[in-house]
Amino acid sequence: MSSLPPPILVADKDSLGRLVRALAPYPVVAIDTESNSLHAYRERVCLIQFSTPEADYIVDPIRLPDLNPLAPFFANSSQQKVFHAAEYDLICLRRDYHFEFTNIFDTMSAARTLGWSQVGLAAVLDTHFGVKLNKKHQRADWKRRPLKPEQLDYARLDTHYLVALRDLQLQALTESGHWPEAHEDFERLARVRGDSGHAGPDPTAFWSVKGARDLTPEQAAVLQFLFAYREEQAARRDRPPFKIMGAATLMELALRAPTHTEDLQRLSGMTPKQIHRHAHGVLRAIQEGLDAPPQRVPRANREPDDVRDRYDRLHTWRKNRARARGVESDVILPRTALWDLARRPPLTHAELAHITDFGPWRRETYGEEILALLSRANPSPGA
């Protein structure tokens, strides 16, 4: 337990209103979330932490499902929202509550832009503030109630130091001349939208199982039905699919295609408890797969050779630029921008403005190099 004052728990409508009023005067607020991805079929945001220089707050969305009063705060361009590794948090908050975001500062993105050797929050706080984070509750089921005091203390430490870290990084970014570059990445993060998570089942998702593409078409059909059975059970019991049955077990079942309960006992991945619970469903899925049409590996959509060539040239250029600067390659230019440049090669500096995730600073800094590289890759007809 830390020696800091206890965080303020926000778990009813009145306390949410007080939180909104408390956040309003601050131009910079730190935020984090805790979700239950390791414990549910469809994860959800289970905690939202806020920190100002004066206090730490923890919002409980399980007890307080209507968070609409927070929407103006997240959309307010005059208040900066500080996250560490913002993308996942933003995707989850947008998915669960339809929030829109402006004025994001991501301390992990800033660390990467600055070329820091370690960018994880625990390492950064240890290095710059001498704070050691205890990750004991990292894999906790954050949906379970009541929350223990040590869980609340753990959760608030993920935001308590972020405003101070942001101040340190902002100074370093400004002094090094990399603030415009970092700011463009923050704006990109504010636009990120992930999968809604509520689409219907994907009948081709079984191909993502490790080793699936090495199966025969007949075995692949069995895997497809086993995968669908596992998804159905996971959804019904609200558990992650891997906690219903491991991928290795699915593969062994698809390879051997047992047809009797006693055959399941000889499979290393099938415990007595699993056999008792799933024998009927698994054997039925296997039979349905054996009776179904064979499944052949889908052909990947191959990019045209000229697009692939441009992408390879751009990828090499980006890697060399990053090595010279001492940063990871995607700090120079996001992968989305590389593909858009390869697929829609611009001919003029003005056309660069239409490229995905290629903001004014990067256009000014890298535009002429990229136009020259693309013109060499695409000689005019008859040249």
Across 238-263, average pLDDT? 95
The helix/strand/coil state of 33 is strand
pTM beyond 0.85, yes or no = yes
**Cα–Cα distance measured from residue 330 to residue 316, given in angstroms and rounded to the nearest whole number:** 12
Shared domain for 107 and 20, answered yes or no, is yes
Shared domain for 14 and 160, answered yes or no, is yes
Q: Buried (b) or exposed (e) across 10-21, using 16+ Cβ within 10 A?
A: bbeeebbeebee
pLDDT band, very low/low/confident/very high, at 357 (cuts 50, 70, 90) = very high
- Is the residue at 199 inside a domain? no
- Residues with Cβ within 8 Å of 180's Cβ and at least 6 positions away in sequence, in order, are 360, 361
Shared domain for 148 and 270, answered yes or no, is no
Q: What backbone phi and psi angles, to 5 degrees, belong to 271?
A: -80, 160
The pLDDT mean for the chain works out to 93
| Count of the separate structural domains present in the chain | 3
Could you tell me which residues are beta bridge partners of residue 47? 34
Shared domain for 243 and 373, answered yes or no, is no
Q: Phi-psi region for residue 197, left (φ > 0), alpha (ψ -120 to 50) or beta?
A: left
Q: What residue numbers bound the domain in which 28 lies? A: 8-191
pLDDT above 50 (res 382): no
**Cα–Cα distance measured from residue 334 to residue 318, given in angstroms and rounded to the nearest whole number:** 10
Shared domain for 120 and 53, answered yes or no, is yes
pLDDT above 70 (res 371): yes
Q: The tokens of 377 are what?
A: 């890759």
What does the angle CA 330 – CA 168 – CA 135 come to, to the nearest 5 degrees?
75
pLDDT digits (tens, 9 = 90+) for 23-80: 999 999 999 999 999 999 999 999 999 999 999 999 999 999 899 999 999 999 999 9
Shared domain for 121 and 254, answered yes or no, is no
Range in 63-72, 90-99, 192-201, 342-351 the model is least confident about: 192-201
Say how many C-beta atoms besides its own lie within 10 A of residue 363's C-beta: 18
- Give, in order, the Cα–Cα distances in Å from 27 to each of 16, 65, 90, 109: 19, 26, 19, 20
pLDDT above 70 (res 378): no
The helix/strand/coil state of 296 is coil
- Residues with Cβ within 8 Å of 192's Cβ and at least 6 positions away in sequence, in order, are 87, 90, 91
- Is the residue at 329 inside a domain? yes
- Is the residue at 94 inside a domain? yes
Shared domain for 238 and 95, answered yes or no, is no
Shared domain for 219 and 141, answered yes or no, is no
Q: The tokens of 13 are what?
A: 């409508």
What's the CATH code of the domain at 86? 3.30.420.10
Quote the pLDDT of residue 316. Answer: 98
Residue 134 near residue 235 (C-beta atoms within 8 A): no
Shared domain for 286 and 309, answered yes or no, is no
Q: The tokens of 173 are what?
A: 């970014």
- Is the residue at 382 inside a domain? no
What's the CATH code of the domain at 230? 1.10.150.80
pLDDT digits (tens, 9 = 90+) for 299-327: 888 899 999 999 999 999 999 999 999 99
**Cα–Cα distance measured from residue 246 to residue 240, given in angstroms and rounded to the nearest whole number:** 10
Continuous H helices in the chain:
13-23, 71-75, 86-97, 107-113, 121-129, 149-160, 162-176, 179-191, 217-237, 241-244, 247-256, 261-264, 272-291, 305-325, 329-332, 335-343, 360-377
- Give, in order, the Cα–Cα distances in Å from 91 to each of 36, 80, 241: 14, 18, 21
Residue type for 71, please? Answer: A
As a whole-number percent, the residues of the chain with pLDDT over 90 amount to 88
- Is the residue at 140 inside a domain? yes
- Is the residue at 298 inside a domain? no
- Is the residue at 57 inside a domain? yes
**Cα–Cα distance measured from residue 169 to residue 111, given in angstroms and rounded to the nearest whole number:** 7
Q: Buried (b) or exposed (e) across 117-141, using 16+ Cβ within 10 A?
A: eebebbebbeeeeebebeeebeebe
pLDDT digits (tens, 9 = 90+) for 106-157: 999 999 999 999 999 999 999 999 998 888 888 889 999 999 999 999 999 9
Shared domain for 184 and 228, answered yes or no, is no
Across 354-383, average pLDDT? 84
Shared domain for 256 and 220, answered yes or no, is yes
pLDDT band, very low/low/confident/very high, at 383 (cuts 50, 70, 90) = very low
Boundary-marking domain end, from 265, 291, 317? 291
**Cα–Cα distance measured from residue 117 to residue 121, given in angstroms and rounded to the nearest whole number:** 12
Shared domain for 36 and 116, answered yes or no, is yes
**Cα–Cα distance measured from residue 320 to residue 349, given in angstroms and rounded to the nearest whole number:** 22
